[in-house]
Amino acid sequence: MKARHLLALAAFLAGSFSAVAADLKVGIIGTDTSHVPAFTKILNVATNKDHVAGAKVVAAFKGGSPDITNSWMRVEKYAEEIAKNHGVKIYDSIEEMSKNVDAVLLESLDGRPHLAQATPVIKAGKPLFIDKPMAASLKDAIAIFELAKKHKVPVFSASSLRFGKDTIAVRNGSIGKVLSAETTSPASLHPTHPDLFWYGIHGVESLFTVMGTGCETVERTTTADGKIKVTGTWKGGRKGTFTEDKGYGGKAIGEKGESPVGKYDGYAALVKEIVPFFQTGKSPVPMEETIEILAFMEAADASKAAGGKPVKIADIIQAAKK
């Protein structure tokens, strides 16, 4: 009797260990960005100094955009790299891939197909992380969130800059309520996307991480050397400014002092947020904040078209919902 009890206990513990140790199977959509081999190494290689446990990339769908040079030049290269080095299986369709994974990373460099690529994943009921930009328009981003809500599927999107050490510390109250902030990042443009969607999103995401939601108006101007400068006015008169620059950085001023923000600290901090999101379905970034970030960037283009006049965020969101 005692022996049987010991055997039963051993079997139970073995089963429990397997359940805990089992990694989520992750699929990737879009092998045309350097994020693909980087994220795969972080998740799949236990000896990697930035390794994040709990999930492994096992599948991918190539995707790719023929009218974007950086896409078609890299899509085959990165697909071959993760297949050869990490045993990732390449599928011919998102639908088929989705059947064989637990969660999905939508990594396509081009934001335009994100709505179409996200749709079969959401309909399959798989948690979905969408890399920057969430879409090539606020309208498409809202459509993705609405579809996800309809099917009760967790979705979130963010730049890795959001999870920089100093930036998150300020977000969590290290200098009290933030009264104003300035951030910088490169802001290369692409004709297929609104100006800041292509790369300026990084600095804008840092800005919103420390300022939070509540931006009411946006004004876009240029610096003396011709760089993009976008100033937002938040509820209560708080000011937040994004300025195009060569590097990632910035400063936040709060009730208890000031702090550097906006530094790039690598991809691992983002992946550390993605895995728990896949496991729990709880997004680390509120949907409302992501929508406001995209509205801020679209409002910047609208302000540019209006000669630098202030544009209301609420008007941009209302137009996108129509």
Tokens of residue 117, six digits: 């690529």
| Amino acid 3: pLDDT | 54
In this predicted structure, the answer to whether residue 103 has a pLDDT above a threshold of 70 is yes
Contact predicate 313/295, CB 8 Å: yes
| Amino acid 4: pLDDT | 55
For residue 60, what are the contacts with CB-CB under 8 A and spacing of at least 6?
27, 28, 29, 31, 36, 79, 82, 83, 88, 89, 90, 91, 97
Contact predicate 143/67, CB 8 Å: no
SS (H, E, C) the chain: CHHHHHHHHHHHHHHHHHHHHCCEEEEEECCCCCHHHHHHHHHHCCCCCCCCCCEEEEEEECCCCCCCHHHHCCHHHHHHHHHHHHCCEEECCHHHHHHCCCEEEECCCCCCCHHHHHHHHHHCCCCEEEECCCCCCHHHHHHHHHHHHHHCCCEEEECHHHHCHHHHHHHCCCCCCEEEEEEEECCCCCCCCCHHHHCCHHHHHHHHHHHCCCEEEEEEEECCCCCEEEEEEECCCCEEEEEECCCCEEEEEECCEEEECCCCCCCHHHHHHHHHHHHHCCCCCCHHHHHHHHHHHHHHHHHHHCCCCCEEHHHHHHHHHC
In this predicted structure, the answer to whether residue 311 has a pLDDT above a threshold of 60 is yes
In this predicted structure, the answer to whether residue 132 has a pLDDT above a threshold of 60 is yes
End-to-end CA distance of the chain: 70
Query: How does the average pLDDT of the chain come out, rounded?
Result: 94
Question: Which of 18-22, 28-32, 311-315 is least confident?
Answer: 18-22
pLDDT in tens, 82-100: 999 999 999 999 999 999 9
| Amino acid 37: pLDDT | 98
Contact predicate 184/264, CB 8 Å: no
| Amino acid 197: pLDDT | 97
Rg (CA), the chain: 21
pTM: 0.92
Q: How far apart are CA 285 and CA 139, in angstroms?
A: 19
The percentage of residues in the chain with a pLDDT greater than 90, rounded to a whole number, is 93
The percentage of residues in the chain with a pLDDT greater than 70, rounded to a whole number, is 93
CATH class of 162-265+285-321: alpha beta
Tokens of residue 51, six digits: 């390794």
In this predicted structure, the answer to whether residue 14 has a pLDDT above a threshold of 80 is no
- 16 pLDDT band (50/70/90 cuts)? very low
pLDDT in tens, 37-68: 999 999 999 999 999 999 999 999 999 999 99
Sheet containing 128-131, strands listed edge to edge, beginning at the edge strand earlier in sequence: 89-91, 55-61, 24-29, 103-106, 128-131, 155-158
Neighbours of 201 (CB within 10 A): 27
In this predicted structure, the answer to whether residue 12 has a pLDDT above a threshold of 60 is no
Mean pLDDT of 294-310: 98
Tokens of residue 291, six digits: 């929508």
- 17 pLDDT band (50/70/90 cuts)? very low
In this predicted structure, the answer to whether residue 73 has a pLDDT above a threshold of 90 is yes
Question: Which of 18-32, 48-62, 218-232 is least confident?
Answer: 18-32
- 20 pLDDT band (50/70/90 cuts)? very low
| Amino acid 322: pLDDT | 86
Domains of the chain: which residue ranges? 2-160, 162-265+285-321
Q: How far apart are CA 103 and CA 131, in angstroms?
A: 14
Fold of 2-160: Rossmann fold (3.40.50)
Print burial letters for 40-64: b (CB count within 10 Å at least 16), e (below 16). Answer: bbbbbeeeeeeebebbbbbbbbbbb
Given this chain, do its domains 2-160 and 162-265+285-321 carry the same CATH topology? no
In this predicted structure, the answer to whether residue 5 has a pLDDT above a threshold of 90 is no
